[in-house]
Structure 1
Amino acid sequence: MRILVTGGSGMLGSELLRQISGAGHVGVSLDRVGFLAADKIQRKSMLDGFDVVIHAAANTNVEQCEIEPEICYFDNVFLTEKLFNYSQINKNRFVYISSTGVYGRGSSVPYHEYDVPQPTTVHHHSKLLSEKVVLASPSSLVIRTGWLFGGALSNKKNFINNRINEIRAAADFISANYMQVGSPTYVGDCAHRILELISADNAGIYNVVNEGAASRFEYVKRIVELSGAAIEVRPIDASAFNRRADVSENEAAVSYRTKFDGLSPLRPWQDALDDYMSQVGLRSCLSQ
């Protein structure tokens, strides 16, 4: 297969390109700036010759999206519309990376694919709008994931490494939100499952997350434990962050559809976290 990936320098996009190549396929990163600057003929040419387009690029700054919604809708919806339209002209299969945050606030248990989305932020509303665009094609695949971790330590959005740096800078304790719950998901496992779904010609909406749910507090506490740091993690509530975006307290998910397809769930997030921290040298890195 020849697969075109947007957001190729991002955490998920770069991992997808690595695994695409490792599986013997051809993966190419699409230049967003070049695509937007191109004319119609050039845009069509950029998508020509590919079997699949994976749209992993997005404006993920949830707070900034509330302040500048026009930029958010341009980045997350308008660009998706353009890419999808040209993919249809070229008969590329389209894969859209969405978020478990689109489910919004309506349940205290993990969401499944048949729950009704009720996004509470501009960012998540933009993601849901884009889902509706691409699902106009019966062959499109929508991946809802969230709380991704992994990737290069140099990535500014590397959640694990940022927590390690926070621990190093702290005097006696660090704090984490005990109210918000999600499904921490290793980017390597996520990318592998996405490619599995593509290879099996699956279509529609799939939640792709590691098994299990955790609060931010539980998640950070586990990172501290694995790092070997002798520091306290204190639980705080959401009000301490004074966020503009009305982010749901529950972004945890399970996948009914992969179960119905006979696929095993992804491994527990704790196991994936342990493996990742070991791979990049962060496990026991702060042991005394």
Structure 2
Amino acid sequence: MKLLVTGIGGQLGYDVMRQGVQQGLDVHGTRRRNLDITKEQEVYHYIRHLKPDVIIHCAAYTAVDLAESDKKTCWNVNVEGTKYLVNVAKELNIKFMYVSTDYVFGGLGEKTLVETDLPCPKSYYGLTKYEGEKAVQSMLQEYFIVRTSWVFGINGNNFTKRMLHLAKSREEVKVVGDQIGSPTYTHDLAKLLISMVQTDKYGIYHATNEGFCSWAEFAEEIFKQSNCNVQVRVVSSEDYPVNAVRPKNARLSKEKLKSNGFKSLPAWQDALERYLSMLVKKEK
């Protein structure tokens, strides 16, 4: 199986690439310097030349706050870039997987969100990811759309690394406590995605590590597991103003994943423990 992974400079794309190689697949990865997905002809020629069996589309504009002002770039990457990839995938009959996000939902209430719930994004980033989803669904008869949340991985920046950095100089940090979701280790998610594309169980899925928590609870667990003596002051979203609205409810149901025979990802606390251990090894 020849696999093309877009966005290998990001957290998830990096780990999907690694997992594919470890599993002995013929994996090819792209980042902007060798494939600009916002250029249709470049996408067309690259993929026609490579002729992959599967595309896992991890590349995305993910600067959530900046997207509120840099709308053109965000749209070109998340919507137009996705359309260009899907067009070629359709022409060459290539399996296609689109990685999406909890930001496609409105984020209200406390209901666990299922795949058939109607998206209602409140941020521009969320809007573009939903438009990407719609492009995939309208252009392909068979596809994988996988929504995830709160990712952390070895490559790139994330909430866990930011908390560890703050712990070096602070005794207390303010973290919002009214946004609930599932921290997701890209190493675990990548293994699932590689497994999924080797099946014909197409559709929309939610995939995160098991369990829910607030960002404040996530921070507390980070400090606990890393033996950092830092206090977490819980604040509301309103007390921590940002440009883009964050979903307060990012509780994604994984029942469809399980009912289709895919193995559940480990609890987020277990994932965090393995991730912190990996960070320590990397620093040595």
What is the TM-score normalised by the length of structure 2?
A: 0.92
| Match in the other structure for 1:61 | 63
Three-state SS of the structure 1 residue aligned to 2:28 is strand
* 1:228-248 deviation digits (Å, cap 9, x = unpaired): 112211101112221121222
**Residue 165 (1) aligns with residue 168 (2):** no
Q: What corresponds to 1:82 in structure 2?
A: 84
Q: Which runs of 4+ in 1 moved over 6 A?
A: none
Match of residue 143, structure 2, among 140, 143, 152:
140
What is aligned with 1:184?
183
- TM-fit CA distance, 1:277: 0.9
Question: Take 1:119 and 1:106, find their aligned partners in 2: how far apart are those partners?
Answer: 11
User: Is this contact kept in 1: 2:38–2:81, CA < 8 A?
Assistant: no
- Whether 1:18 and 2:18 are equivalent positions in the alignment is yes
Q: Which amino acid aligns with 2:141?
A: P
The match for 2:122 is 120
Are the equivalent residues in 2 in contact too, given 1:151–1:158 (CA < 8 A)? Answer: no
Q: 1:38 to 1:60 in 2, by over 3 A?
A: closer
**Preserved CA contact (<8 Å) 1:138 1:203:** no
Of 214-223 and 77-86, the range deviating more from structure 2: 77-86
Looking at structure 1, the residues matched to 158 and 32 of structure 2 have their Cα atoms a distance apart, in angstroms, of: 22
The aligned counterpart of 2:251 is 252
Kept after mapping to 2: 8 A contact 1:44/1:90: no
Instruction: Name the CA distance, whole Å, in 2 between partners of 1:43 and 1:216.
Output: 37
For residues 52 and 217 of structure 1, the distance between their equivalents in structure 2, rounded to whole angstroms, comes to 38
Partner of 1:129: 131
Partner of 1:9: 9
Contact in 2 for aligned 1:183/1:269 (Cα 8 Å): yes
Aligned partners of 1:276, 1:65: CA distance in 2, in Å?
29
Change (3 A) 1:39 1:12: closer
Superposed CA offset, 1:239-280 (max 9, x none): 222112122211121212112113332111011111111222
Change (3 A) 1:228 1:117: same
TM-superposed CA distance for 1:167, in Å, is: 0.8
Distance apart, 1:174 and its partner CA: 1.1
Kindly provide the CA deviation profile for residues 12-41 of structure 1, in whole angstroms up to 9, marking residues without a partner as x.
Answer: 00100100011111111124354458673x
Choose from 145, 149, 154 the match for 2:152. 149
CA distance in 2 between partners of 1:39 and 1:247 (Å): 31
TM alignment of 1:38-117, pairs within 5 A: 40=41, 43-48=43-48, 49-117=51-119
Contact 1:94 1:141 (C-alpha < 8 Å) held by counterparts: yes
CA distance in 2, matches of 1:255, 1:138: 23
Q: Deviations over 1:133-184 (max 9, x none)?
A: 11231221101011011213xx2x13222211111111x3111101111110
- Range moving further from structure 2, 13-22 or 102-111: 102-111
**One-letter amino acid matched to 1:56:** C
Unaligned runs of 5+ in 2: none
Instruction: State the SS of the aligned residue for 1:174.
Output: strand
Counterpart-to-counterpart distance in 1, 2:39 and 2:243: 35
CA distance in 2, matches of 1:89, 1:32: 23
Moved more, 219-228 or 197-206: 197-206
User: Which secondary structure does the structure 1 equivalent of 2:5 belong to?
Assistant: strand
Residue in 2 aligned with 1:214? 213
Q: TM-score, normalised by structure 1?
A: 0.91
Measure how far apart 1:106 and its partner are.
Answer: 3.8
Provide the secondary structure at the position in 2 that maps to 1:124: helix
Residue identity opposite 1:99 in structure 2: T
Gaps of 5+ in 1: none
Distance 2:218 2:104 in 1: 21
Residue correspondences, number: 278
Contact 1:35 1:46 in 2 (8 A): no
In the superposition, relative to structure 1, how do residues 13 and 174 fare at CA in structure 2: closer, same or farther (>3 Å)? same
Q: Residues 130 and 278 (structure 1 numbering): CA distance in 2 closer, same or farther, change over 3 Å?
A: same
